[in-house]
Amino acid sequence: MKRIGFIGVGTMGEPMAANLLKAGFTVIILGHRNPAPVERLVAAGAQKAQTPAEIASQTDVVMLCLPNDAVVEEVILGANGILAGGREGLIIVDTSTISPLTSQRLAKIVAEKGMTLLDAPLSGGQTGAIAGTLAIMVGGPREAFEKVRPVLEAVGKNITYVGENGTALVVKLGNNLIVAAEAVAIAEALTLAKKAGIDTGLVHKILSAATARSWILEEKVAASVLKGDLKPGFKLSLMHKDVGLALDLAKAQGTPAFITALVHQLYTQALGLGKGDLDSIGISQLYEEATGVDLRAGN
């Protein structure tokens, strides 16, 4: 499995494709709406194709890193999609965060064509993608997982097989639900402190050494909210989508989702206020605007 197709060379996909090149794989990429990452990857040694079908016809594995269910479905099933050009034995590794139910449906269609679909959602953000240290959870046939393990090891460090198709996506949605809920809780806590006249930098220092400590609090908040820098590593609009997927899954299962529903409403409000292109931690702006406080440290 040395020839790898990669579709979706955006914020996460570009550094992942770059790491595959560094690991010695032949990488064939699809043109992107933003030509800059394509040009950079081609300069680094990648080849460029015009359609998913063309990529599938030339590779052993096709990796996807796409924004939503509809795009994934079109890339796989469309007139010029992967199934139109792929051959028996091809493995599709979908790192996109989509509905587990959609992924399971697509996996059945792909299997009927003699190919395999693995859901392999990621955690670690752009920083992890650049460093090649992503956490990757994988669902689908175990034999296919073992075949593509060397490919995954080129882009991630903590790689875990979960179970049948869709199971890895369930875990990923749980991860993002926790992150989103934590972002809301941190924003509320910092706002409480600031309204009481306490500097958020001091609050952050204390909480980072207390039982509330977490990666989101220690790293993400320090690099964004406290500095007033909400440049996206993972867009608020994508977090809104993921929490919505978790809520949809809970409804389908009949599982209580009280916090999920509330968090989704807050992200929906932020999206409606034009904050979709901020980092997902930008949910903090709802609290700043509601109270008139500035959550930056030292302000």
Which residues are marked as active site?
A: 172
3-state SS assignment for residue 262? helix
**Tokens 């509809």 sit on residue:** 70
Contact 114, 91 (CB under 8 A): no
Tokens of 146: 């073992």
Tokens of 110: 């792909």
- Whether the CA torsion 110, 111, 112, 113 is positive or negative: it is positive
Contact 155, 16 (CB under 8 A): yes
Residues belonging to the chain: 299
3-state SS assignment for residue 297? coil
Measure the CA–CA gap between 216 and 103, rounded to whole angstroms: 28
Q: Exposed e or buried b for every residue in 222-242, given b needs 16+ CB within 10 A?
A: bebbbeeebebbbbbbbbbbb
Which of 117, 104, 54 has the alpha carbon at shortest distance from 82? Answer: 54
Contact 27, 20 (CB under 8 A): yes
Return the amino acid letter for 265: Q
